[in-house]
Amino acid sequence: MKVVVLTGAGISAESGLATFRDADGLWQGHHVNDVATPEAFRRDPEVVHKFYDDRRRELRTVKPNAAHIALARLEQLLGDGLLVVTQNVDDLHERAGSSRVVHMHGELLSALCDSCQGRFAWDDDLGDAPTCPACGNDTLRPDVVWFGEMPYALDLIERALSEADLFVAIGTSGAVYPAAGFVRMAALAGAKTLELNLDPSETTYLFDDARQGPAGKLVPAWVADVQGTLR
């Protein structure tokens, strides 16, 4: 069975990380145009670095929840048949034990050099302008895909969607493309589609099946169902 799982900020909410668009979301406290565009970074890098340095530090204080752990379990069951495509920049999938994870919007624990395009594992602040380990320039930026930039690994993701038997979206509002369009691509390729989300999203109507509730409850129950069908 080939399964593609798309995750969004909602899967990490029960670990204590804010989502973007919920009442207490990141976009309530910050304006996208101040912290999540290349223009914002050129205009005021200090403000942008503070936003991501704070999130990188916060990441050390949280841990994976039952939903992340259930998906790691699913990888043990399905092996190469499972691909997790995440919009999240946290490392909670990997810390839960998942290895088949694609970060289409980048990662907090990575730095990108604007001079040589090198990408480096990074768990320190970037606000104090450290130099690039490869080219020595002080042009490191958060390795996060900002609005107006091309997401990572779209070819790989589109290939996986075209071969999927099942597409599942977890904890995402369906507000941001191209991720919000994956359900259509998977359905066109003949996949069954399932949404697991706290509230109906902007794309719930596109799914064959949709269940509402906290990911920490819905995902382990769904994985147990899948395990049952494999026996």
Under rule CB under 6 A, how many of the chain's residues touch ligand APR?
23
d(CA 10, CA 198): 8
CA dihedral (8, 12, 17, 19) positive or negative: positive
- 168 is an interface residue for ligand APR by CB under 6 A: no
Who's near 209: CB < 8 A, 6+ residues apart? 192, 193, 194, 195
For residue 105, indicate whether it is catalytic. Answer: yes
Closest approach of ligand APR to the CB of residue 219, in Å: 8
d(CA 104, CA 17): 18
- 4 is an interface residue for ligand APR by CB under 6 A: no
Residue of this chain nearest to ligand APR (CB atom)? 10
Q: How far is CA 46 from CA 30, 43, 137, 148, in A?
A: 14, 9, 17, 20
- In 3D space, the residue among 16, 2, 1, 19 whose CA is nearest the CA of residue 171 turns out to be 19
Please list every residue from 9 through 48 that binds ligand APR, using CB under 6 A: 9-10, 13-14, 19-22, 25
Q: Please choose, out of 43-51, 111-119, 173-181, 222-230, the segment that lies near ligand APR by the rule CB under 6 A.
A: 173-181
User: Phi, psi (5° rounding) for residue 47?
Assistant: -65, -40
- In 3D space, the residue among 156, 5, 165 whose CA is nearest the CA of residue 70 turns out to be 5
For ligand APR, the closer of residues 31 and 42 by Cβ is 31
What is the pattern of x (binds ligand APR, CB under 6 A) and - over residues 98-137?
A: -------x--------------------------------
For ligand APR, the closer of residues 123 and 199 by Cβ is 199
For ligand APR, the closer of residues 20 and 222 by Cβ is 20
d(CA 80, CA 58): 32
Binding site for ligand APR (CB under 6 A): 8-10, 13-14, 19-22, 25, 87, 105, 171-173, 175-176, 197-199, 201, 214-215
